[in-house]
Amino acid sequence: MLTRLDDIDRRIVDALRGDGRLSVRALAEQVHVSRAAVHARVQRLEREGVIRGYQAVVDPERLGLAVSALVHLRIAQQTWKDVREAIGAIPEVWHATLVSGDHDLVLLVRTTDATALRDLVLNRLQAIPGVRATHTLLVLDEMGDAPAGRGDAGRP
C-alpha cells in the first residue's frame, strides 16, 4: 500500500534520514511545525511502514573491515528464496539486492582483508546450493549514503 506523503512528511523523512537521533523538538524546529504535529506524523510514518527503524551509520574501516567488494551472483532459477535465506545468515554481507540483467543478485560485502574476501567468495558463497557463478569487484572508494548495516532494509 502506497502511503501518501505531503511536503511536511517528506521534510520529516529527509531530516530523519540525515540524523535519526533528532529529538521531536529539534525535528519540529527544522520542519517548522509544532512538536505535537511532528510527534503524531512520525508515529503515523512508523505505523504505516514509511519509517522502518533507526540505525547507527558505522565506519567499516574503524570496525576492522578494510576490504569491501561487490559480488555479483548468478543463481539457478527458482532458487532465489533459498539463496536469499543463506545470504542473510552471512554477517559479511552488508547489503543484497535482487537485480535484472546478467546477474541475479548484487552483494555488498565487507571483510578484514583479501584472504577473508577470498574465503567468503570461494568457500562460502560459491558453496550455497543454487549459486552458479560469482563475479567480484573490489570497491576502491565509496561516496554518498552506503548501506549502514544489516537491518531489515539491508536484506535482499
Query: CA angle, 24 as apex, 23 and 28 as ends, to 5°?
Result: 120
Are 72 and 149 contained in the same domain?
Answer: yes
Are 27 and 80 contained in the same domain?
Answer: no
In the chain, the number of structural domains is 2
Rounded to whole angstroms, the Cα distance separating 27 from 48 reads 19
Are 80 and 20 contained in the same domain?
Answer: no
Predicted TM-score of the model (pTM)? 0.77
Cβ-Cβ contacts under 8 Å for 95 (sequence gap 6 or more): 107, 108, 147, 154
Are 37 and 84 contained in the same domain?
Answer: no
- Tell me, yes or no, whether 37 lies in a domain: yes
Phi, psi (deg, nearest 5) at residue 56: -80, 140
- Tell me, yes or no, whether 52 lies in a domain: no
Are 91 and 14 contained in the same domain?
Answer: no
What does the pLDDT look like over 63-85, one tens digit per residue?
999 999 999 999 999 999 999 99
Cβ-Cβ contacts under 8 Å for 141 (sequence gap 6 or more): none
What does the pLDDT look like over 106-121, one tens digit per residue?
999 999 999 999 999 9
Residue 88's pLDDT band (cuts 50, 70, 90) = very high
Are 121 and 79 contained in the same domain?
Answer: yes
Determine the structural domain holding residue 37 and report its residue range: 7-47
Q: What's at 34, amino acid-wise?
A: S
